[in-house]
Chain A
């Protein structure tokens, strides 16, 4: 298994909803990342987990809450989002933080 998978592919949620995005990899990678990508913009780093510990939080609002239950899974919990949070949310992983990152297909999130 040489890929990063993300579910769901698409998500529409209201501003009062609570939802979660899921990311999974079985390549033994010990670093996992969440990125946010708006249309026609490059991905922007949100969080980095290294060996299941949060190592970087790029000043992301608290309505986004990451979780790394084990070395293969990464979740992003969403609560009270704003319409401007609508974007493609990308998960990535790498063998460690010094080599190339592989990206998942992303979850397209729309906040209404």
Chain B
């Protein structure tokens, strides 16, 4: 089973707030975890990529993976109105020809 659960929102927060986005999954074989940002009518833009468990930070973005809990998170610090978009988590097993399994996406709104 390759189901990935993600709350579709919308999630509305004031500018400057810390945003927490999450996904849970059931397939313990997933090893590669990604977060994409997608603006309306555009292709997904890769934000963060993590292999296995751990944390990764890039500017205002932090990705966390907890494989024991099958839970991944994306934190956005000092949120800006330009961060308003749909955020998709995605994952794959790896080790073979395998496409990405996506969550439904969370629609994030940053209020000025």
With a cutoff of 8 Å between Cβ atoms, the chain A residues found around residue B103 in the complex are: 42
How far is A6 from B6 in the complex, measured between Cα atoms in Å?
28
Give the number of residues in B that approach A within 8 Å (Cβ atoms). 24
Q: Which residues of A contact B60 (CB under 8 A)?
A: none
Task: Give the docked Cα–Cα distance between A98 and B41 (Å).
Answer: 27
Interface pair B102/A42, CB less than 8 Å apart = yes
- Contact yes or no, B46 A97, CB < 8 A: no
Write the B59-100 contact mask toward A (1 if CB under 8 angstroms, else 0): 000000000000000000000000000001010101111111
Report yes or no: B97 in contact with A97, Cβ–Cβ below 8 A: yes
Interface residues of B: mostly helix, strand, loop or mixed?
A: loop
- Asked whether B102 lies within 8 Å of A48 as measured between CB atoms, the reply is no
Is there an interface contact between B46 and A56, defined as CB atoms closer than 8 Å?
no
CB 8 Å contact bits of A66-82 with B (1 = contact, 0 = none): 00000000000000000
- The answer to whether the Cβ of B108 comes within 8 Å of any Cβ in the partner chain is no
Residues of A in contact, count (CB < 8 Å): 27
Task: With A98-B32, A108-B41 as known contacts, state yes or no: A31 contacts B97, CB within 8 Å.
Answer: yes
**Is residue B49 within 8 Å, beta carbon to beta carbon, of the partner chain?**
yes
Interface status of A88 (Cβ within 8 A of chain B)? yes
Contact B105 A97 (CB under 8 A): no
Q: How far is the CA of A6 from the CA of B45 in the complex (A)?
A: 14
Additional 12 contacts, C-beta under 8 A, given A50-B97, A102-B46, A103-B36? A41-B104, A42-B102, A43-B88, A45-B99, A56-B99, A88-B41, A88-B43, A98-B94, A104-B43, A105-B43, A106-B42, A106-B43
Q: What is B's interface to A at a CB cutoff of 8 Å?
A: 32, 34, 36, 41-46, 49, 88, 90, 92, 94-100, 102-105
6 chain-A/chain-B pairs, Cβ below 8 angstroms: A41-B104, A48-B98, A97-B98, A99-B49, A102-B46, A105-B43
Q: Which residues of A contact B (CB under 8 A)?
A: 6, 31, 33, 35, 41-43, 45, 48, 50, 55-56, 58, 88, 90, 92, 97-106, 108
